[in-house]
Every structure is written in structure tokens, then in C-alpha cells.
Amino acid sequence: MKRLLNKTLLYYTVFATIILLLSIPFLYWMMEKLYTDDVDEAILLRKKEFVTNNLRSLRINDIPVWNKFNRDIRILPDTVLSKPKDSIIQEIFFDEMVPEWEPYRVLYTKVQIENQPYILMIQLNLVESEDLIKTIIRLYLGILFSLLLVIFFITRFISNRLWKPFYDTLEKVKQFNLEQHNQPQFTVTKIKEFDQLNASLDKLIRSNLRSYTSQKKFTQNAAHELQTPLAVFQSKLDLLLQDKSLTQAQSVILQSLYEAASRLSRINKNLLLLAKIENNQFTEVSSFRLNELIEQSVPYFTEQATPKELVIEQSIQSDIALQANQGLAEIMLNNLLLNAIRHNIEKGIIEIRVQDRMLEVSNTGGSHALDAGGLFKRFGNSQTDAHNSGLGLAIVKEICDRYGWVVHYRFVLDRHVFSVKF
């Protein structure tokens, strides 16, 4: 990706160079034409001079002498030439002085000397003109090039200044985080477009924040409001279960109701937990060792893993000290371990690995990698069973985000690996 400014300058340079290069032949042609016209005028002037001053007094006998002393105006016998008359043409002659072939402008015209027809030839060398043209073009290009260079730097300077509010806004938008809930304060600018940009962004962010907050509030309120009806529902189930006249068939229905109610209250509790983490309600922070939490949890999970005959392997190679809410860290660890048990296969393996500042919980399970994108989303997992609230990993993610830990999923060698980098 190129910077906008560099892009502008690149275009500018390319087009300027092309125009400059194209202008050289045009310039050369123009200069040459101007000079040729000038030379032609000089030739015509000389002819006029010759006709007015010299022609009348010139005798045939004088011709050899004239030709001897005049290199550029010569009188030739009428017989020699089949060249066009009275128009200036361009010819190349060999110059013995230099010595090389050089371009000349030449005029042939008929004159009468002592009533004898002669041809007057007037020629002017163009060599000097070429040098002149070259010099002029060099000078011109020099000026143009320095002008270009100056304009280049001025443009850069001005663009930098002009775009400053834009980059400023960009940086602030980049740093904006919906969850941290900090409305960015854009610098005031006098440029209309940037001012409009800032105003629009401000509006957009504000409404985003508003809907984010209200969505969060809604979830929390909904979960809260559900607590009481759920409590009533569960209490009625508990009462119904005491009914002496309950039949076997009814009790089976009751059991299903119990399970549904449990699941409902679990989802609700987890939603509330998520809301509480989001709302920063776990403010109590202490120092503790992750290894200690693992030591505490493993016996419980070993017990939980027995029905599936799972083997829990531990590879503890470092000691991780954490500064966080211990309750949340426990929830995170427990959810990871529960996840590893629940999605495991019979006689599978769970490996807990602690290395450097990294915790890894890997388990055998389905033979395909899971969709890492949806995995940590709320209810992102399509396969739900009665014991899954669909929020366990979302809670893990939320806790990790809260403390700047990085949770990651990958599928390696038929193992599902969840890692947390502290």
C-alpha cells in the first residue's frame, strides 16, 4: 500500500517527466524553424543588398575575383544548375575547413550581368545555429527541471500540511475501540471536507457506541428480568415433583422440564456473567500463580473425565504469575478444561501445557478443524447439546480480552489446541 502523498507525487513526477521529454523535440523543431526563418531572411536581405549595391557595377571580368573573395555569395554560370530558382532550399556541402558535411540554406536566383544570364548563389551555414539551439534547449531544460524539483518539494510540503488533519483523524479512528467506550476527540480543522469527515465519523461512532451500550444493557436487563420468572418456574417444578399422585409418564415429562429449566438458567447466568465482565464489575485484582489454579482444578476434572476414560496429561515447564481477578481466571481455566472434556472422544487425551507465558489446553476430538471465527462468538457454535450453553468459549474470550491475554485456536495433528498467551 502506498501513501496518498507518495502516490500524488509519483503521478506528478511521471507526468512531468513525460511532458518534459515530449517537449524536447517540439522545442527543438520550433527553435530550428525560428532560426531557419531568420537565416532565410538574412539570405533575402543579402540578395537585396547585392542587387541594389553590387549588381549594376559588376562586370563579367569581375566575377572570378568576386567569387574568390566571397565565400557565401557567388556568381555561377547559368548553365550549371538545374536547381529550383528564387526559393531558399536546404543543402549539404562538404566543408574543407572543419572538415565535414554541413547543412546550408541556399538561394539560387537568376541575375543579368552585362546582359549575360548568371546564377547568383547565396548560402548560409546552419552549424552555428544548431549549437545555439542546443544551448538554448539545455538552458530551458535546466530551468524546467529545477522548477519541477522546487514544485515537487513545495507540493510535498503543502500536501503534508493539508492532509495533516486527515492523518490525525485516521490515527484516532484506528485507536478507537468500541468496547473501551472512549469517544475520540477529533482536532478542529478549518478545511470544510475534513470538518465534514470528522463530523460524520463523530456521528457514526456516537451512534455505534449508543447501540452497543443499549445492546449490552438490553442483554443484561433481559437476563436480569428473566431471573425472577425462572425462579418461579423452577420453584413450581420443585413443588410439582412433591405431588404424591405423580405418574411415571408425568415424571418423565417433569424431568425434561427440569433439564430445560436448568439450561435456561445456565444460559441466563452466563449472559449475566458476560455482561458483568464487560461492565468491569470484577474490579478486585490479586496476584496469584496460574499453576496453582491448575493444580486445584485438575483433580476435579480428572474425576469428571473418568466416565469417558480420558487421560489428562500435564506438561508444566514454567511458572506463570498473573495479576487479575482470580475468580475470572478460574472461570477461564475451567471453561477451557470443560470444553476439552465435553468435545472429547471416548478414551481420548487432554493435554495441559504451560510453557513460557503460554497455557495450552489440547484435546482429541472431531477430526476436522473447527471454524475459528465462530468459535469464540456467543452462540457461535451450531452444534449444541443439552449441556452446552454456547457461551463457554465466549466467556473465555471476554476474560482474555479484559486482561489483554490472547486466546487462539488451532488444529494440529488431530488435536484441537486452545492457547492463551499471557
Partner 1 sequence: MKILIIEDEEELAKSIMAYLKDENCLCEFAFNLKNALEKIDQYSYDCILLDIMLPGGDGLKLLEELKRQHKEEWVIIISAKDSVEDTIKGLNIGANDYLPKPFHLAELSARIYSVIRRKQFGNTNKALLNELEIDLLTKKVTVNDEPVPLTKTEFDLLLFFVGNKNRVISKSILAEHLFGDMWDMLNNDDFVYERIKNLKRKLADAGCKDYIKTAYGIGYKWAS
| Contacting positions for partner 1 (CB under 8 A) | 224, 227-228, 230-239, 241-242, 246, 248, 251-252, 254-255, 258-259, 261-263, 265-266, 268-269, 272, 276, 281-282, 303-304, 307, 334, 338, 341-342, 387-389, 392
* Cβ neighbourhood burial of 207 (10 Å; 0-12, 13-18, 19+): exposed
- Find residue 111's DSSP bridge partners: 118
CB nearer to partner 1: pick between 209 and 338:
338
Per residue in 247-277, is it b (16+ CB within 10 Å) or e — as a string? eeeeeeeeeebeeebebbbebbebbbbbbeb
Place of cell 548553365: 79
CB nearer to partner 1: pick between 138 and 224:
224
CB nearer to partner 1: pick between 96 and 346:
346
- Least Å distance, CB 265 to partner 1, is 5
- Least Å distance, CB 380 to partner 1, is 17
CB nearer to partner 1: pick between 96 and 303:
303
User: How many C-beta atoms lie closer than 10 Å to residue 90's C-beta?
Assistant: 12
DSSP 209-250: HHHHHHHHHHHHHHHHHHHHHHHHHHHHHHHHHT-TT--HHH
CB nearer to partner 1: pick between 65 and 222:
222
CB nearer to partner 1: pick between 216 and 342:
342
CB nearer to partner 1: pick between 169 and 339:
339
- The CA distance from 106 to 34, in Å, is 17
- Least Å distance, CB 285 to partner 1, is 13
- Least Å distance, CB 418 to partner 1, is 15
- Least Å distance, CB 344 to partner 1, is 11
Give the Å distances, CA to CA, from 421 to 359, 403, 405, 408. Answer: 7, 11, 6, 8
- Least Å distance, CB 213 to partner 1, is 19
- Least Å distance, CB 159 to partner 1, is 55
Place of cell 469517544: 183
Amino acid present at 8 = T
Strand 100-113 relative to strand 116-125, pairing: antiparallel
Tell me the angle at which helices 248-278 and 392-403 cross, rounded to the nearest 10 degrees: 20
